[in-house]
Each structure stands twice: as structure tokens, then as C-alpha cells.
Amino acid sequence: MKPKHQRFVLAGLALLAIFGASALALSALRDEAAFFYAPADIVGHLPDPNRSVRLGGMVKQGSVERQGDGVTIRFVVTDGKASVPVRFTGVTPDLFREGSGVVAEGHFRADGGFTADTLLAKHDERYMPPQMAGKMHKTESLKP
Amino acid sequence: MNPWPFVVGAYAIMGIGMAGIAGVSWRAMRRAERAVEALRRR
Amino acid sequence: MAPAYHNYGAWGEPARLWLESRASIDYPGCAVPILHALANPARFLKLARPLTPLCFWCGVVLALIGCWAGLTRTPPDYLQGDTVRILYIHVPAAWLGMAGWGGLAVASFAYLVWRHPLAAIAARAMAVPGALFAALCLVTGSIWGRPTWGTWWQWDGRLTSMLLLFFVYIAYIALARADADRGGDGRIPAVFGIAGTVLLPVIRYSVVWWHTLHQGQSIGLTGSTIAPSMLWPLWFTLSGFTLFFAAIVLMRMRAALGLQKAEARMRRMAAA
């Protein structure tokens, strides 16, 4: 074998080894690297109420209700398999909508509900003009 | 929230970054090629 | 006579002499004649000289058309409104940040296998523009995130892995510089360049493997979830920025070749 070919094979093997090692490391990281819990992830084993965690999913259609004080809202986060009721006091992001994605930072309560300190709107991968969106699915703004 | 300051800001930063690297790379190239030319003439 | 060219492991005097000797050498027993013809610096320069302004101006014109259309000719998004216009620069920046590392890795691999000095020069020329576009991707994404998500930065899988790629670029630049200063042959940065490729699939699939704040892939091989009336300027900016990137790489390669040639000539004149 010419040295050129030897180097080719060696470099290729090294590359494969690096990729294999990283694949192993990444699969071990799988649960740790999640940015948030989906409601189905925590059915039956709620995270410790004292721990600050994130909960993500869709805001269930028709679930948002504003409390009497005007700044507290309640809504349900769902991923289609399970759902969690959430309570939040504060200013919601502009893109917070029913039927749209949301990530809530806060902690679980003993009763299985979630108290959020911060809300982040999660955008999905669809981009379209308003006329088209109106035809495809209805989105309702929380704001009057 | 008015989105335009964000949009304009993002485009401005992009433009500055690209103009910057174009200027730096162009000057480096010119300087190196001029040096070769000058040495060749000597 | 065996082509001595194959023994140029060292990034030293023999390589310099070879660069000096320029055209009109043919390498007997070359397996890939076209690649080797391109790899000849004189022929490379002959091609690169007209190609540099061509790539640059075509890239600038296409990018400007894309930006103008993206800012004025497309409808706002049904949820994000006008903030969506940042997409037309954010996506090309992300593409070039990642494609830049892909090119750097391919050149590094070619250098390690064929030991060709021009491949090492190409790899080094891609590092700085690649790092710049990775940074621009992070900054434009952050500016988009504030009105959309309601936050400038979160440590989610996509954002963190892209930031990591930026740091890997910085490490490569530092490593390549240190190697050149020490008079190394460029093998260590080349190995690093290949190893860094691991990050590319991680960035690409981070939104699939993990729950992330960043949305999923919009444009795949099978189509796109962006409405056609909003998508078309993206093709202009993508192609325009890519040509711009190519022009920058050509400029930096020409600068490196010129510097090397000038050094070799000075050395010869000092010896004479």
C-alpha cells in the first residue's frame, strides 16, 4: 500500500472512531440535554417541587382564563398525550396564543399543577402570511 | 412590540460584519500580491 | 524518477521551493490529474484572479436583491409579524457557519491524505469567515428571539451547539496560528478540523433529538413549511451570501500564497 493510501485509510478510521464516540456520548446525554419537560415525560413521576424546571407544550385551545386581578392567568399545557394546568402571574410574551407553543419556567406543585415564573413563546417551523393562516387554522389572540 | 428596530438592527449588524471582512481580506490580498510584484521587479 | 512531491510532509523548505517553481511541472503517475492540475498554485491563481471579483459582485448583487425583497416584497408572518424578515439573513448565516466548517474539514482531510500545501491554505482561509458567519447567526438569532420568544438567550440544544461551533472556530484559528508560528507542518490543526465535524450533525439534529426552544427544521429535502410567497427571497440571499463567502476565501488564499511567495523570494535574495 502506498503511504498516501495508508494515510487515507487511517484518517477515515479516525473519523469513524470520533463519530462513534460522540454518538455514544450524545445518547447518554439525551435526557440531560432536553430544554424542557413535555407533559407526557413526567406522568407518574413529578419533578421535585423545590426544583426549578421548564415545562413545554401547546397551550390548549379554550383553556386560557384570566383571573380577577387582571395579571394572573391559568391555562393548560398539553402535548396531545398528557396535560398540566399552569398558573402564571405577569406579562405574557406577544406570541403567547391558544393553540401555539409555550415554554414555562417555574416549579411543580404537590397537587400536580405548575406555577410559572416566566413564559417563553415557542414558535413552530411554519411561516405563512396572515390570509393563509386564517384559512388553515384559527388562532385567537389573548389580547382584546 | 415594534419589530422594526430589531429587523433593522439585525440587517445592520450583518452588513457591518460582511463589509468588515471583505475590507480586511481585500487589503491583505492586495498587500501580499503587491509585495510579490515589487520583489519580482527588483 | 518518483515524484518527490509525495514526500512533502513537512511544511518547510521543499514546499516553498515547490510553490516557487510554479507552472510547467508535470507529476508522473498522478492518480487524479484534474485535482492535481487545480492544486498547482500557478494554475490556481490563474483561475482565482478572475473568479474573485466575479464571485464577489454576483454575491453582493444577489444578496442585495434578496434583502430588499425580504424587507419589502414579502408578507409579514401571521404570528411573528415583520420580525420574520430576520430569517432572510439568519438562515444564510447559519448555513455558511456550518458549511464553512464542512469545507474546512474536507480541505483538512485532503491535506492529511495528499499532503498538499494548497489544501492547508484553503482550510485556514475558511476559518475566519466561517467564524464570522457563525457569530452573525448567533447575533441575528438573538435579535429575532427577543420579540418572538421573549428572551435574548436560552441554553437550549440548538443555541448551545451553535455557540460551541463558534468557540471551536476560535480554537482552530488560535491553533493554526500557533502551529504556523512554531514552524509546524499544519497537521495538528488539520486533525482538529476533522474532529470538529462532529458538531455539524449535532447542530442539525438538535431540534429533533431534544426538546428545544428553537423551532424544528423548516426546509428539508422533501420541501419546506415556509409559505412560497415568503420563501423565495431566501434563495437569493442563500446563493448571494455563499458566493460572497467563496470570494472572501479566494481573497484570503491569494493573500496567503502571496505572502509565502514573497517570503521565499526574500530568503533567496538574502542567500544570493
pLDDT tens for A85-128 read 999 998 888 888 888 899 999 999 888 889 999 999 988 888 88
pLDDT tens-digit series, residues C161-209: 999 999 999 999 999 999 998 988 899 999 999 999 999 999 998 888 8
Using the Cβ of B29 and the Cβ atoms of chain C, whether some distance falls under 8 Å is answered with yes
Q: Does residue C9 lie within any of the structural domains?
A: no
Mean of the per-residue pLDDT values of chain C: 86
Range name among A61-75, C117-131, C188-202, C233-247 with the lowest pLDDT average: A61-75
Q: Does residue C41 lie within any of the structural domains?
A: no
What are φ and ψ of residue C177, in 5° steps? -65, -45
| Among chain C residues, CA nearest to A10 | C113
Using the Cβ of A142 and the Cβ atoms of chain C, whether some distance falls under 8 Å is answered with no
Confidence of residue A133 (pLDDT cuts 50, 70, 90): low
Q: Does residue C42 lie within any of the structural domains?
A: no
Classify C76 as helix, strand or coil.
coil
Residues of C within 8 A of A123 (CB-CB) are: 79-80, 148-149, 215
CA pair distance C127, C196, nearest whole angstrom: 12
Q: Shortest Cα distance from A41 to chain C (angstroms)?
A: 11
Classify C247 as helix, strand or coil.
helix
Within 13 A of C55's CA, how many CA atoms are on the CB side?
18
Using the Cβ of A81 and the Cβ atoms of chain C, whether some distance falls under 8 Å is answered with no
Residues of chain A with pLDDT > 90, as a percent, come to: 19
Q: What is the mean pLDDT of residues B15-26?
A: 97
Give residue C244's pLDDT. Answer: 98
Give residue C2's pLDDT. Answer: 37
CB atoms A36 and C211 under 8 Å: yes
Give residue C145's pLDDT. Answer: 93
- Identify which has the larger pLDDT, A59 or A31: A59
Give residue A119's pLDDT. Answer: 92
Give residue A20's pLDDT. Answer: 86
Confidence of residue C45 (pLDDT cuts 50, 70, 90): very high
Residues of A within 8 A of C151 (CB-CB) are: 120
- Identify which has the larger pLDDT, A69 or C100: C100
Confidence of residue C231 (pLDDT cuts 50, 70, 90): very high
Q: Shortest Cα distance from B22 to chain C (angstroms)?
A: 6
Give residue C223's pLDDT. Answer: 77
Give residue A6's pLDDT. Answer: 82
Q: Does residue C93 lie within any of the structural domains?
A: yes
Classify C111 as helix, strand or coil.
helix
Residues of chain C with pLDDT > 70, as a percent, come to: 86
- Identify which has the larger pLDDT, C83 or A46: C83
Q: Does residue C91 lie within any of the structural domains?
A: yes
| Cross-chain CB nearest to C258 (options B10, B22, B36) | B36
Residues of C within 8 A of A33 (CB-CB) are: 157, 209-210
pTM, full prediction: 0.85
Distances C199 to C98, C158, C169, C249 between C-alpha atoms, Å: 9, 11, 11, 22
Cα Rg, chain C, nearest whole Å: 21
How many domains would you assign to chain C? 1
Give residue A1's pLDDT. Answer: 66
Residue A143 confidence (pLDDT) above 50: no
Q: Does residue C43 lie within any of the structural domains?
A: no
Residue B22 confidence (pLDDT) above 80: yes
Using the Cβ of B23 and the Cβ atoms of chain C, whether some distance falls under 8 Å is answered with no
Residue C11 confidence (pLDDT) above 50: no
- Residues of the domain holding C152: 53-220+227-260
| Cross-chain CB nearest to B18 (options C85, C143, C244) | C244
Q: Which of C185, C191, C257, C267 is nearest to C40 (CA)?
A: C257
Q: Does residue C267 lie within any of the structural domains?
A: no
Segment of A55-59, C96-100, C148-152 carrying the highest mean pLDDT: C96-100
Alpha-helix residue ranges (DSSP H) falling in chain C:
13-21, 33-39, 41-72, 87-114, 117-148, 157-181, 187-195, 199-209, 228-271
Q: Between helices C187-195 and C87-114, what is the axis angle to 10°? A: 130
Give residue B42's pLDDT. Answer: 76
| Cross-chain CB nearest to C218 (options A11, A121, A125) | A125
Q: Shortest Cα distance from A99 to chain C (angstroms)?
A: 12
Residue C16 confidence (pLDDT) above 60: no
CA pair distance A55, A77, nearest whole angstrom: 8
Kindly list the residues of chain C whose beta carbon comes within 8 Å of any beta carbon in chain B: 52, 56, 67, 71, 80-83, 85-86, 89-90, 93, 128-129, 132, 135-136, 139-140, 143-144, 146-147, 244, 247-248, 251-252, 254-259, 261-262, 265-266, 269
ipTM for the complex shown: 0.95
Residue A142 confidence (pLDDT) above 50: no
Residues of chain A with pLDDT > 70, as a percent, come to: 89
Q: Does residue C34 lie within any of the structural domains?
A: no
Contacts of B36 (CB under 8 A, 6+ apart): C258, C261, C262, C265
CB atoms B26 and C251 under 8 Å: yes
